[in-house]
Amino acid sequence: MASSSRLGLLLIVSTLYRSSLIAALAALLASPSLAQEIGVYSGRHYNTDKELYKQFTKQTGIKVKLLESKDDALIQRLKSEGSQSPADVLILADAARLDRAAAMGLYRPTSSAVLSREVPANLRDPQGRWYALTRRARVVIVNPSRVKPEQIRTYADLAKPALKNQLCLRNAKSPYNQSLVADQLILRGDAATKSWIKGMVANVKEPFFSSDTPMIRAVAQGQCGVAVVNTYYVARMLAGKKGKADQALAEKVKVVFPTPTHVNISGGGVTKASDQPAAALKLLEFLASSKASSGYANANDEYPLKGFGNNPILKRFGSFRPDGVSAFQLGAKNSQAVALMRANGWSF
Ligand code: FE2
């Protein structure tokens, strides 16, 4: 073979070799194992949440690696992992927890036209560190055979002497109760909130509870006539998610929305540790969009960011007037609320 044709052959072989290398590399990049993936730490643990993450992956190609645990454990974990944390998004329940995580520097400020449009201004951090994804109402439930629902129009009514030994109350450790007290501090001021707590504590049927569901049972069974709980705990029981016995008990209590109603949130933000903040922000935008928000809310019988959703159990409760207090303010007032509870006999 002449040297020129040998050179030609060599060129053809090397071109083929290179193009197959490029093709192999392209195939590798497109394979699922190398697709973009973000880490999500979530204090929400509802199976239907996972369905929404799948939809997000389908829509964007971004995979979600989920770690679910208790909110406070996730905060601690993220703190100890520091900049090495695999979490790009941190999702938590309760405004004060979101604020605490932000104060610890776990979130980074972000701005997004979609989130500004989808999340009402009072339900997001003014610095863009976290955004509400669902709303939850902390309401009054009564056993109508012991307390007339008309007796309760506002949270202040829970302190009336007529309810002596009728009130079941969750302890002061509950972030939900801390946020309710913060809410009243904002709306009614220090003096009125202090005497409200004193009045309620005087009405309490001991012991203080450590979670909401047993209080719903206690009201249904007539151990007390009235209690303060989040609506989704009642809805969960009514839907039969806790079994037939609890379903029958929930039928015995009536949900009363104080006017106006205190609203808390679950929400999330992009972590400071994130190395993919743009992808992380995309997930928040997806979850806050009106379609996903109602799915995310329904997963836990909560309310979407706007309106009352179409959950048939929540529809039975009817609508309510949210008090419009900013979730950020609830966080800012948390330590004052806790001190007031401690000083006035609300058991921890
Ligand atoms: Fe809860």
Task: Say how many Å lie between the CA of residue 175 and the centre of ligand 1.
Answer: 9
Using the structure block, give the residue that is written with the tokens 């083929």: 16
How many CB atoms within 10 Å of residue 246?
19
d(CA 185, CA 53): 37
d(CA 75, CA 69): 10
pTM of the model: 0.88
Task: Say how many Å lie between the CA of residue 7 and the centre of ligand 1.
Answer: 74
Task: Say how many Å lie between the CA of residue 21 and the centre of ligand 1.
Answer: 53
Task: Say how many Å lie between the CA of residue 174 and the centre of ligand 1.
Answer: 10
d(CA 340, CA 206): 20
The confidence score (pLDDT) of residue 2 equals 47
Query: What are the φ and ψ backbone dihedral angles of 39, each rounded to 5 degrees?
Result: -95, 130
Number of H helices, E strands in the chain: 14, 8
Low-confidence ranges of the chain (pLDDT < 50): 1-2, 29-30, 32
Tokens of 15: 């071109």
Beta strands in the chain (DSSP E): 37-42, 63-68, 89-93, 131-142, 167-168, 226-230, 254-256, 262-270
Q: C-alpha angle with apex 288: 299 to 326, nearest 5 degrees?
A: 100
CB 89 within 8 A of CB 281: no
Task: Say how many Å lie between the CA of residue 94 and the centre of ligand 1.
Answer: 9
The confidence score (pLDDT) of residue 293 equals 85
CB 107 within 8 A of CB 269: yes
Task: Say how many Å lie between the CA of residue 52 and the centre of ligand 1.
Answer: 20
Task: Say how many Å lie between the CA of residue 136 and the centre of ligand 1.
Answer: 9
Task: Say how many Å lie between the CA of residue 138 and the centre of ligand 1.
Answer: 10
Tokens of 251: 């039928």
Task: Say how many Å lie between the CA of residue 16 and the centre of ligand 1.
Answer: 61
